[in-house]
Amino acid sequence: MTGDRFSERARVGTLGVMKIVTGAGEWTQPAAGAANDWVEQLKVPDLSVGTYCIPAGGVDDQSPHTEDEIYVVTSGRARIVAASGDAVVGPGSVIFVPAGEEHRFVDVTEDLALLVVFGPAYGSRTGSQG
């Protein structure tokens, strides 16, 4: 996309206000006593973006979400287990998990940092969140 076209679209308001998120997908050590670390870095009605970190040997204690989800592994290695199958993932892996599907990262062999995109925004649909 050219800069001119982007500028024109921004001026007419179709994109809202551009936001730059710094640090998204970067490893963050969980707080003392915490199993993992989740930080939501951007939230608009149609999507949200955050970073989820699980230390090597750590536990993924999430429950299914009511929104579709995309994970992008930015660092670390683990295995994702879901009702639809399992796979070893590492830097560059992109994982789609539909709303409501049980899933969990296990066998975290290296500190795992994930850029996470929810659509629509995390917590915007009714139901359990975790």
b vs e for 40-53, b when ≥16 Cβ sit within 10 Å of the residue's Cβ?
ebebeeebbbbbbb
Place of tokens 């290695």: 77
Domains in the chain, CATH or no CATH each: 21-119 (2.60.120.10)
Q: What percent of the chain has pLDDT over 70?
A: 85
The answer to whether 126 touches 83, Cβ cutoff 8 Å, is: no
pLDDT band at 127 (very low <50, low <70, confident <90, very high): low
CA distance 32 to 39: 16
Q: What is the DSSP secondary-structure string of 2-55?
A: -HHHHHHHHHTTSS-S----SSTT---PPPTT-S-EEEEEEEETTEEEEEEEE-
Q: What is the dihedral of CA 15, 50, 77, 28, to 10 degrees?
A: 130
pLDDT tens-digit readout, 11-50 = 334 457 888 999 999 999 999 999 999 999 999 999 999 9
